[in-house]
Amino acid sequence: MSFIHTDSWRRNGHGTRARSETIRRAGRMITWAVLGLVLFAANTGLSELAHQAGWVTYVFPRTLAWTALPYLTAFVLLHRALHLPPMEGASIVGLATTLPFAMLLIVYAGLHVEYSRGAVLVSYITTLGWIWLGYRHYVQKYVPVFGYMDPETLQQLNRIVSMPGSAPPSQTRFEQIHSIEDAMHCDGIMVERGLTADPVRTRLLAQYQTGHLRMYSVERIGEMLTGRLGVDHIDENFLDGYADHFLYDYVKRLVDIVAVIALAPIALPVGLVVAVAVNMESTGGALFRQARVGLFGTPFTMLKFRSMGVDCHAPAQFAARQDPRVTRVGRIIRKYRLDEIPQLWNVLVGDMSFIGPRPEQVPMVNAFTESISYYPYRHLVRPGLSGWAQVRQGYVGSHEETVTKLSYDLYYVKHCSITLDLLIAVKTFRTLVTGYGAR
């Protein structure tokens, strides 16, 4: 089944849309942010007049003026998240708006600065609505047009976006082009680098480049539409992007340690209740230990609360839906991820992180490494309690779905950032509440 739509639509006139789709969306959002800042300044002026009239205290307009900082920060965070699929819009906008306002409240509380809660609330609601309107109009509802030269290019993209167990891609239009005039209305040109070069094709590509048209590889288009990486071929800048995460790794490790310490007062009593329930239902101990593969392929012992019956000779295998090995208590703790509470220890000692690709069993890793050439790349980052594949796909139960899961994991390895981690954390809360994807 093909998820790619094409047509023969053409735009009249000789106007040139020379900038890339991503740059143009970012530019429109910047313009929207500036317009909102003008309205923000007008509201601050009106609040000052309200203070002079005695309707509000002097703290209200002063607080309203300071909330311009989280307003601008929210747009910066949104700009840095434009590479994520537009279908994640609600989560992206909510996260980009809430985080800077939460930080402002922390600063106010830490420095004991007097502020108006009403002004913060009004500014937060206004910012959330304004950003959502801009994102929905300029990003989420916008249907980009990409040109392609060779039919094989579209076939390659179809293979990337139609992987088993994956979410449907964002809406996009594709058109076959034959000249620079055909290409001028496109947001970018999709190119299959594996095709044999010929003089005519090379000259056309040179014309497109000199015409300031953005060139995208098939793999890059696939990333933009699906939030996954194609595993048939990885962009040559993959490792260069990974190298840029050097400082991010240290910040993330610090956040992990602080978060474990903060969660300990809640996790310890809940974990004790789970351990007692597991021991009361069946014998074999409350904790389950298993060798998993971690950062740079180094094995470690992962801890979980036991949710299945004890079978020392059971081979490594996927958990099936309604798996008969799962106990009654096990089904409950697996649904709400309570079986993973002991992994907070793995996070504290550095074997795991809160966010990252889920660690796999050693025999499975060995098997997948032999059959999927790019599989070891997922070990370039620390494994996590929750990851991009888990919130986008859920658990997998076959080799084909494992390939799709790897495409999500590699996307995370390439694009991991604080923004993406926070998005995964927000979507993980939905999993904890609904039990989505549990087996």
Residue 162 in tokens:
């139609």
Q: Per the structure block, which two tokens stand in for 356?
A: 């990252």
Where along the chain do its domains lie? 21-140, 144-232, 246-434
Can you tell me whether residue 148 is helix, strand or coil?
strand
Provide the strand spans (E) within 33-181: 145-148, 173-176
pLDDT confidence of residue 243: 55
Residue, of 37 and 345, whose pLDDT is higher: 345
pLDDT score at 186: 78
pLDDT value at 433 more than 80? no
Mean pLDDT on 358-373? 89
Range of lowest pLDDT (3-7, 42-46, 213-217, 386-390): 3-7
Helix ranges restricted to H, 211-350: 218-226, 238-243, 246-281, 328-335, 343-349
What does the pLDDT average to over 292-308? 92
Nearest 5°: phi and psi at 224?
-65, -35
Instruction: With cut-offs at 50, 70 and 90, classify the pLDDT of residue 354.
Output: very high
Alpha-carbon torsion 238, 243, 249, 251, what sign? negative
pLDDT given at position 166: 59
Which residue is listed with tokens 């060995």? 366
Distance CA 377, CA 372 (A): 11
How do residues 145-195 score in pLDDT, each as one tens digit? Answer: 888 888 888 888 887 777 665 566 667 888 888 777 777 777 788 887 666
* CATH fold label, 144-232: Rossmann fold (3.40.50)
Tokens linked to 87 = 């279908």
Closest CA to 18 of 174, 302, 210: 210
The residue that leads in pLDDT, 259 or 337, is 259
Q: What digits encode the pLDDT tens for the residues 197-246?
A: 677 777 777 777 766 677 888 888 888 888 888 776 666 556 655 555 66
Q: What is the pLDDT of residues 246-286, one digit of tens each?
A: 678 888 999 999 999 999 999 999 999 999 998 888 777 88
Residue 100 host element (H or E): helix 89-111
| pTM of this prediction exceeds 0.85 | no
pLDDT of res. 434: 64
Cα dist from 255 to 261, 296, 350, 418, whole Å: 10, 21, 12, 10
- pLDDT of the residue at 41: 87
